[in-house]
Structure 1
Amino acid sequence: MNIVAQDVHMGTGKLKVMVKDTIDIQGFKTMSGSKAFEESLPAQKNAEVVEHILNADCTISAKTNLHELAFGITGINKAFGTPVNPKYPDLIPGGSSSGSAAAVAAGLADFSIGTDTGGSIRMPATCCGVYGLKPTFGRVSRVGVVPEQSSLDCVGPFASSISMLETAMQIIDPTFKKVVALQRAPKLAILNVAAEPEIWDSIHDFLQQAKLTATQVTAQYFDQAYQAGMQVINYENWQAYGELTKTGKVGQDVNERLLKAASTTLQQVQQAESIKDQFSAEIDQLLDQYDVLILPTLPQVPPQVVDAENTAAFLNLTALVRPFNLSGHPALSIPLETKNGLPVGLQMVAKHGADEQLCAVADFVVKAVAH
């Protein structure tokens, strides 16, 4: 299924885990889904997140495939093959953490680890119909994760339930203390953003089934935050991978994006930092009034693989996820479906550092629907 990049088999625990191949595992090459790293040396030591997993009751069975250099949103990888979306085989698995999401959806792992710089956990979680969490920026260690420097990237888990998502967080972030149960119904706000009607219909139906009400709110800087996040990603990815464009070993789609990213200036990044401050303050103000903000993860149903060859044409798919990479707030995607059985994600966003509360609210809402 092209989900596995490398078989690993480390640890002897009960929980089976797979790890995105941008994360160092001692003795294995960190390939980042690219032939440009075929001649690289094996990692000298484990990433800190891998150490946490091995020290818990876990077995790491494989490293997972991804969109090349984690610089794409479809999950299509010409170098090593595109992971098949287990639940929706005609649709993209989503990027960049495609293999990690597909592994959980296929039942190959109890939980998996991905990274999220501009939606790369939440997007494939939606595409593959599983749960995905982008923790608060800096909450989970990035030591031993490629690229070494990032202002936006977060390591986080995929799972088939909120409970397993919380278990994964307790393992990869020793400071994570699970909330036993909410003491009251959460105060919810729906962030007014642009998405296809069928996406909104699924979210409103879900909240209605949960018998929960939510207040409509707006964020003035939301669209600007989306653009600003791209400036930061482009600038930092060119710094990290620009030299690889000279090798001739980077796939055409990613190579072209890198070359285009080369024109991003430090001034643009500084302007993005200004937007970050304004947007973060705006979201913080809303989260002083509400427990979580709710919005779609993706603005539309994921495209079919045959239609998604041109990654750049589908960058709008990240319109609703990337702003929260810029702001650093924790964001979780809950899998839903349209009336026609196609994947939808309900995204929840909470205060900085309130990852436990975010999971607890998500659990409350999902259980309210189940009842």
Structure 2
Amino acid sequence: MTKVEEDLHCWVPTSRTRPPYQDGPLSGHSIAVKDMVAIAGHTSSYGLATWRSTHSPSAATAPVLERLLDAGAAIAGLSKLDELAYSLEGNTGEGEAPLNPRYPDRFTGGSSSGSASAVAGGAADIGLGTDTAGSIRVPSAACGLFGLRPTHGMLDTAGVLPLAPSFDTVGFLCADPGLLTRSFAIAAGGGDERPRTEISRIRFPEDCLSMVSEEAARAIRMTVGTLSEVLGCAVDTSLAFADFVSETAASVFANLVDREIWQTHGAWVREHRDAFHPLIAGRLQHAEEVSRVSEAEKRADEQARADYRERLNSIVADGAAVVLPIMPHLPPSRHADDQELESYRLTTFFLTAPAGLSGCPQLVVPSRGRAFGVGILAGHYADAALLDAAVRYTDSGSA
């Protein structure tokens, strides 16, 4: 391990490197692999030493990682993550929290904290992670990186530990959007025969800026202007943020996610409650409680998700993309207390809910100077159009 890697605190204690399977389009590049993606012969930590000690090594490597190794990429290391990938802060994994090279006095965001730290710090070129409620997008925004939560179901999640399966995605974060584009295409297998979508209109609900700091608001406005210029399309400000981002939507999202988490992991959690950070333990308690509601309440939440998905699909129809904040301000201080961290998480959860509830892809681009990450959400299977926008955005000199 190099001095840089030691300072980043980005790798799990059982981290290992792996060479590529062969030469290919990713030769010369390395991957930070979130330690919940299966590697043959390795026991994943899932952010907890207790998980590692109670599970067996993986029999096979996850197909999404195998595709990257087949394409010539090497594994730089196995990266830390928040416990059960159930956090947006980046502060609850094993040992010391990964360093945010962009803001060393602040957290990286979670739960793909180690992958973001490794890429932002130059220990890896590609961050392979997961996103259920923001775990790619938030650390990308916090560390000045490009990050993609793909259309739900676009990438194979076999061999990736589940959190809430109907929301889980595999995702990528990189400093270079061109490399992000190539990595995603290889991971997706290049078999998508759908007609290519182009972004033809930017929708920007200006009232969303009421949830962010003044500095973040200025950065988001500048990013909207640049995207409009490089994509050659108009900005529509008629959309009301409250039409699709609300306490009701966030509550439905949280209830659905938490029920799936408890269904997936409840039995193991009951046996190992003492293993968790207090913040995670509290969320797991809520997950247990919302799993006990009536079947009628569960059906109502599922119907609300279906209605929301239909409504958001109409917002991003005909090539429209929606620009939104990812975080309300800079990532929280490493000295923040639990109350500050929970406040940050709840506001951020509000902002990341639309992609999770709808299954739509969302790309994070860093603002000029990489101070703030800005989200661009588009319709299902518009992933390639979003990535093309990121490359053109960078070519304009804006990131």
TM-score (norm 2): 0.85
Work out the CA distance in 1 between the residues paired with 2:140 and 2:190.
Answer: 24
Cα drift, residue 245 of structure 1: 3.9
2:211 corresponding residue in structure 1: 195
What is the CA distance between 1:261 and its match in structure 2?
A: 1.4
Aligned counterparts of 2:167 and 2:79: Cα–Cα separation in 1: 21
Inter-partner Cα distance in structure 1 for 2:96 and 2:296: 37
SS in 2 for 1:259: helix
Instruction: Report the count of equivalent residues.
Output: 366
Match of 2:244 among 208, 221, 236: 221
Residue of structure 2 aligned with 1:250, choices 255, 273, 276: 276
Report the Cα offset of residue 365 of structure 1: 3.1
List gaps (5 residues or longer) in structure 2. Answer: 1-7, 21-26
Q: Please tell me whether the aligned partners of residues 361 and 382 of structure 2 are also in contact (alpha carbons under 8 angstroms).
A: yes
For the pair 1:326 / 2:357, whether they are aligned, the reply is: yes
CA distance in 1, matches of 2:11, 2:296: 40
Matches within 5 A, 1:205-354: 205-209=222-226, 212=229, 213-216=234-237, 217-218=239-240, 220-223=243-246, 224-242=248-266, 243-247=268-272, 248-264=274-290, 265=293, 266-310=295-339, 311-315=341-345, 316-336=347-367, 343-354=371-382
1:79 maps to which residue? 94
User: Does structure 1 residue 90 correspond to structure 2 residue 105?
Assistant: yes
Q: Are the aligned partners of 1:188 and 1:294 in contact in 2 as well (CA < 8 Å)? A: yes
Greater CA drift, 143-152 or 93-102: 143-152
How far does the alpha carbon of each residue in 1:62-115 deviate from its partner, in whole angstroms, 9 at most, with x for none? 111011111111110263221010110111100111111111101111111110
Does structure 2 retain, via aligned residues, the 8 Å contact 1:186–1:361? no
- Richer in helix (by share): 2
The one of 46, 52, 63 aligned to 2:67: 52
Matched residue type, 1:329: C
Secondary structure of 1:321's counterpart equals helix
- Aligned counterparts of 2:312 and 2:390: Cα–Cα separation in 1: 19
Change (3 A) 1:148 1:221: closer
Residue 366 of structure 1: how far off its partner (Å): 3.4
Aligned to 2:387: 359
Partner secondary structure for residue 112 of structure 1: strand
Q: What CA distance in whole angstroms lies between the structure 2 residues aligned with 1:34 and 1:75?
A: 13
1:139 aligns to 2:165 (yes or no): no
Contact 2:202 2:228 in 1 (8 A): no
Other-structure match for 1:368 = 396
Q: Distance in 2 between the 1:254 and 1:148 partners?
A: 13
Secondary structure of the 2:151 match is: coil
- Could you tell me which of 6, 10, 16 is aligned with 1:8? 16
Distance 1:261 1:345, change over 3 A: same
User: CA offsets, 1:286-324, max 9 Å, x none?
Assistant: 222443111111122222111154543332222111221
**Contact 1:301 1:342 (C-alpha < 8 Å) held by counterparts:** no
CA contact (8 A) 1:116 1:154 kept: yes
Shift of 1:253: 1.9
TM-score normalised according to structure 1 size: 0.91
Describe the SS at the equivalent of 1:9.
coil
Question: Match for 1:189: what amino acid?
Answer: R
CA distance change for structure 1 residues 133 and 176 in 2, over 3 Å: closer, same or farther? farther
Q: Is the 8 A contact 1:206 1:369 kept in 2?
A: no
Q: Which runs of 5+ in 1 are unaligned?
A: none
User: Tell me, what secondary structure is at the counterpart of 2:119?
Assistant: helix
Residue 33 (str. 1) matches residue 47 (str. 2):
yes
Q: 1:68 aligns with which of 83, 108, 124?
A: 83
Q: CA RMSD in A?
A: 2.5
Q: Which string of whole-angstrom CA distances, capped at 9 and with x for unpartnered residues, describes residues 258-288 of structure 1?
A: 0121111354443232222222222211222
Measured in 2, the distance between the counterparts of 1:101 and 1:45 equals 25
| Distance (whole Å) between structure 2 residues aligned to residue 131 and residue 170 of structure 1 | 15
Deviation at 1:369, TM superposition (A): 4.7
SS at match of 1:17: strand
